[in-house]
Amino acid sequence: MPRGIPKLGFRKSRKSVTLPAESHDLASGPIAVATTETDEQIGVRLNRRFEALATMAAATVEGHARSLIVSGPPGLGKSYGVEQVLANCESKGYVAGTVKGFVRPTGLYKMLYQYRFENCVVVFDDADSVFGDEASLNLLKAACDTNEDRNISWMAETRMEDEDGFNVPRSFKFAGSVIFITNYDFDAAIARGHRLAPHFAAMVSRSHYLDLTLKTTRDYLVRIKQVVNENGMLRKEGHNAQTISEILAFIEENHSKLRELSLRLVKKISGIVKMSPNNWKDLVEQTCFRNSY
């Protein structure tokens, strides 16, 4: 951590609102529609997107890009891809601060101030509440601006202090970079004319926006197969080729009954297979299928 970064506290803060459902939350699951692409074509498209994720995340951490927005559904590897890049870059002296969960505008201002230096990056991983508040969006637009000098200001009555009781300045120059890992489809929200669409458009304009194009059921299934077959996900957990084939076939055959399609699901099934090799399919039905009664 660079010198001079204080630990901050807040005396009070304003209310924040969560982003409404009509903003296209990709966490709602895949779209069950027909596609003209073959599985091979889908695989090529997804590989290109995840390769771009690694390249652009590294460029953002290193300061060659100021802001990156990665949009895609949960549980299919977008956070893991960024985490790999962060681990590599931190070994080179870059400093990352990661935020998960709910974030108020005051908390956002705090993070941007803490990581305001050139070798710093702030990562918002599934902290989508920052997109549901106009005050937060205005702070983010300032942090991601393309101007040579990015000045961020907080002129509200809220008092922010470091651990020694010194006031945090109401304005500072931000020289770091920002990565957003989000479930929200900004393009869809803008196209639908969401009430915050002008802010979303401004964020996309200031940032590199990478849509992982994971939309349909086939996209999800192909991505799962990619990670399992190409990255050795289940081999690393001790499963042989026959068992891996059976797990993938079971997921594809029953995808419409499963509560979710994700790599997390694959790990759940992997654990069940280890617990009960002879009865795992029945246990998966009992624990991972949606109730039909």
What is the CATH class of 8-211? alpha beta
Chain position carrying tokens 């990670």: 227
Q: Cα-flanking dihedrals φ and ψ of residue 155, to 5°?
A: -110, 10
Beta-carbon-side half-sphere exposure of residue 58 (alpha carbons within 13 Å) = 13
CB neighbours of residue 190 within 10 Å: 19
Residues paired with residue 173 on neighbouring β-strands, in sequence order: 151
Q: Where are the domains of the chain?
A: 8-211, 232-288
| pLDDT value of residue 7 | 46
Q: What is the pLDDT of residues 165-194, one digit of tens each?
A: 677 899 999 999 999 999 989 998 899 998
Name the 3-class secondary structure at 255.
coil
In angstroms, the CA 282 to CA 293 distance is 17
- Asked if residue 30 lies in contact with residue 217, where contact means CB atoms within 8 angstroms, the answer is yes
- Asked if residue 208 lies in contact with residue 67, where contact means CB atoms within 8 angstroms, the answer is yes
Q: What is the pLDDT of residues 71-126, one digit of tens each?
A: 999 999 999 999 999 999 988 999 999 999 888 888 898 889 989 999 999 999 98
* H-run or E-run covering 283: helix 280-288
Q: What is the pLDDT of residues 215-245, one digit of tens each?
A: 999 999 999 999 999 889 999 999 999 999 9
149 pLDDT higher than 60:
yes
pLDDT tier for residue 20 given thresholds of 50, 70 and 90: very low
Tell me, what DSSP letter sits at residue 258?
B
Beta-carbon-side half-sphere exposure of residue 164 (alpha carbons within 13 Å) = 5
Mean of pLDDT over the chain: 87
